């Protein structure tokens, strides 16, 4: 008959205690999951703007502010476009920080342009950082193609 000695039992309890203190709370922290979800939603909105510009063969503007993003048919994004779910293409949260705050648009070919550009684009590859709950997620918009990726 084998049994646990007192030393072995204490060692097991210490290991379980370490797991409870350091490892397990990370699995139940919603902040990381929420940050990823918001980042994915913003990235999807930018991709949708590009696809919508190509489908309409016209300009679709992306207006980022420090706390949100909007898609619009004009350069102030006041004339909001609708998402496929028929909701306004606007996301604003007080716990969200987007940098840089910028206004740009996709033309009918899906190419990105800075606000005010018409013939030649001065748009350069741009990295957008989204911070929420202490977690930062980044994505890029490429210069010539407008490709949106992490």
For the domain 30-149, what is the CATH superfamily, name and number?
minor pseudopilin epsh domain (3.55.40.10)
Residue with tokens 């922290």: 29
* pTM greater than 0.95 (yes/no): no
For the CA atoms of 106, 126, 92, 36, what is the dihedral angle to 10 degrees?
A: 120
pLDDT, residue 134, reads 85
Given a contact cutoff of 8 angstroms between Cβ atoms, the answer to whether 46 and 141 are in contact is: yes
Instruction: Report d(CA 82, CA 92) in Å as an integer.
Output: 15
Q: How many CA atoms lie within 13 A of 78 on its CB side?
A: 2
pLDDT, residue 2, reads 65
Averages of pLDDT over runs of 10 residues in the chain (150 residues) are 80 89 74 85 96 96 96 93 91 94 95 87 92 90 94
- Side by side, the strands of the sheet bearing 90-92 are 90-92, 68-72, 60-65, 103-106, 112-114
Residue with tokens 């309890």: 13
């Amino acid at each position: 008959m084998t049994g646990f000695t007192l030393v072995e039992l204490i060692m097991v309890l210490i290991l379980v205690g370490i797991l409870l203190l350091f490892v397990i709370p990370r699995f139940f922290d919603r902040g990381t999951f929420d940050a990823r979800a918001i980042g994915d939603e913003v990235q999807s909105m930018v991709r949708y703007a590009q696809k919508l510009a190509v489908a309409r063969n016209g300009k679709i503007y992306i207006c980022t502010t420090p706390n949100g993003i909007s898609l619009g048919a004009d350069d102030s994004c006041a004339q909001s476009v609708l998402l496929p779910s028929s909701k306004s293409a606007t996301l604003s949260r007080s716990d969200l920080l987007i940098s840089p705050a910028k206004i740009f648009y996709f033309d009918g070919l899906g190419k990105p342009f800075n606000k005010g550009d018409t013939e030649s684009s001065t748009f350069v590859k741009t990295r957008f950082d989204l911070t929420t709950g202490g977690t930062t997620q980044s994505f890029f918009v490429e210069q010539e193609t407008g490709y949106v990726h992490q």
